[in-house]
Structure 1
């Protein structure tokens, strides 16, 4: 064989090798790893030293898309002996809660029923006090972060009811397991209202918490922990309030202030003057974080009789004082729930009760959102 055919053969082999490399690169590009730090979080969160996402607050959520049939979540817990819960929505349809064991080393696989592109919204089912869920990365095919459509934002501040605590005994019956085993933040009234109105939302809620006292202690109350990233009084890390600008801030605190306590610790009678004073101070703090927000005060569907009248009277007094002190701001809105017989664990609303509460609140929040969007 002379030199020319040998050169042509070598050239053809080189071209085929290059085409093979390009094809291999294209195939490899389809399979991707999405770092958790590249996601767009909604709710209280932190990025740790390893660029992992700490999902902190109730219903804190992130979105991503992938091409079917599966993707994998690499999650962990700071407590190897504990457990926690995620829940997710696939292509706009709620799926289920996922129990995460602190001992597990395997990724969580999400499966889609069909091929093609899918969108997942991943939520923390539990509240901040159960500890963070640490998301390191997500792997899949053509995986990309997803942001929520631009929409008004509602922040829901509250207690266990706002958390969706004790609402879902479908996996662990009431009276068994641990307190957070029945949490379902996705199905709580706030996220339901937000989804119905096509708004964004964040939850700032703590079980058992009140304005001037908690259900079985004198504190730390919501005014003492609201500025902490995880609502823990001992944490020196504060939340960066510039991350979100809610158009409406809903505050539902009072159930625990008015409670009779746990029967073990001394419980003084409800002090309406202390409640109103602390509530006014707290609303002023919230207004300092979000000067343009519409403030809305909610009563409690769990309180009936004389206590219901007391709470309504106190919330009206808070509104009057705030409106007088901020006469050029939007007047504070107030909503009084209809009394409810709760069907969840330990006297809390269950997921069906939360649906009723959300339906009751829809006209109220629709009006507020429409007014602030003009």
Structure 2
């Protein structure tokens, strides 16, 4: 039995390009669909628009998580999410594990003939968080737990990227909030630096207001900000910005460093224009980087003069690991970020 993606029982979350409701495009990590169903098997039908890495989709069925490899395909393909299930009611979440290294064109879901599909049992969260970040915010390579506290090995670890275990996703679940994870591995704040889309590097300034942004996968499309208004916005940039030149560390008062700080302030103001009431939290992560970047962010936050723009640092900020944070480090960050946001009280979510 085929279930179209726009079925009213299906609850979605994330920046989704649903201009064509029968085949919406999932771009950002942690984008997801939730529903309940009966039956013994669950499938997903999709087209994988691929740029690089090895693509997987994540699924949680009755509390058990799995990953399903997506082959590179130009035509719709149906993948098995779960089978040999008891014919009872199941809770299902299917989500995008990875960033814009690929887009998922969702065509629908497959259930047993005669199966029931129902909306999720719990109500949709009214609290809303949004993150603008890089690979850490994506949860990139975080399942490579053997390398906790170590540099990444020189091999493709894209299969070990899982947005479900990113610090932002864990924090959102801790707080009972929705999350839009506007994050891309390798992204700096500014175009021309960082790692994404090299050598013609694309920064968050060319991603943040788009629903699709990877030039290798087609034309960019603007995002309609009226569709989602967060209570909390987290800016988690200032790490990839040190590539190819760590100008903030080498020449803090130089022209390039001053330009970056001015553009960071402009980015905060652009977000404030979109979200007049949101708490904007500026941060980096526990991934090793020069403390000059946190000094720069603090200087900008203080200079903005907005009491709802804050600078948050983790207890092991910039010093925990030379490689991508693994699941344990994301959990550590989430505990601290959760406590920080809880400190603002319930009024934060009004």
Call closer, same or farther: CA 1:242–1:112 in 2, change over 3 Å: farther
Query: Larger C-alpha radius of gyration, 1 or 2?
Result: 1
Residue 231 (str. 1) matches residue 213 (str. 2): yes
Q: Choose the corresponding residue for 2:42, options 59, 71, 75.
A: 71
| Contact residue 212 and residue 220 of structure 2 kept, 8 A | no
Alignment of 1:1-374 (within 5 A): 32-38=1-7, 39-47=10-18, 49=20, 51-79=22-50, 83-91=54-62, 93-103=63-73, 105-111=77-83, 113-128=85-100, 130-140=101-111, 141-146=115-120, 149-169=124-144, 174-177=153-156, 180-212=158-190, 214-216=193-195, 219-232=201-214, 235-259=219-243, 271-303=256-288, 307-308=290-291, 310-323=292-305, 326=306, 330-339=307-316, 340-342=319-321, 347-368=323-344, 370-374=346-350
Q: How far did residue 155 of structure 1 move?
A: 0.5
Aligned length: 324
Whose relative contact order is higher, 1 or 2, with alpha carbons under 8 Å and at least 6 apart? 2
Partner of 2:149: none
Provide TM-score, normalisation by structure 2.
0.82
| Contact residue 54 and residue 158 of structure 2 kept, 8 A | no
| Residue segments in structure 1 that go unaligned for 5+ positions in a row | 1-31
Q: How far did residue 253 of structure 1 move?
A: 0.5
Find the aligned partners of 2:284 and 2:24 in 1 and give their Cα distance. 34
Q: How far did residue 112 of structure 1 move?
A: 6.9
Call closer, same or farther: CA 1:218–1:300 in 2, change over 3 Å: farther
Call closer, same or farther: CA 1:51–1:315 in 2, change over 3 Å: same
CA displacement 1:100-137 (0-9 Å, x = unmatched): 11248443242375442111111100102x12112211
Call closer, same or farther: CA 1:236–1:72 in 2, change over 3 Å: closer
Call closer, same or farther: CA 1:269–1:58 in 2, change over 3 Å: farther
Provide TM-score, normalisation by structure 1.
0.77
Aligned CA RMSD, in angstroms, stands at 3.0
The list of structure 1 runs, each at least 4 consecutive aligned residues, that deviate by more than 6 angstroms after superposition, is none
Find the aligned partners of 2:293 and 2:51 in 1 and give their Cα distance. 42
Q: How far did residue 268 of structure 1 move?
A: 8.0
CA displacement 1:129-184 (0-9 Å, x = unmatched): x121122111321023448523201111111110111222379x94334x532211
Of 190-199 and 138-147, deviating more is: 138-147
Find the aligned partners of 1:85 and 1:95 in 2 and give their Cα distance. 13
Of 138-147 and 186-195, deviating more is: 138-147
Q: Find the residue that maps to 2:90 and give its secondary structure.
A: strand
| Contact residue 153 and residue 200 of structure 1 kept, 8 A | yes
Find the aligned partners of 2:331 and 2:48 in 1 and give their Cα distance. 31
Find the aligned partners of 2:94 and 2:240 in 1 and give their Cα distance. 30
Q: How far did residue 207 of structure 1 move?
A: 1.3
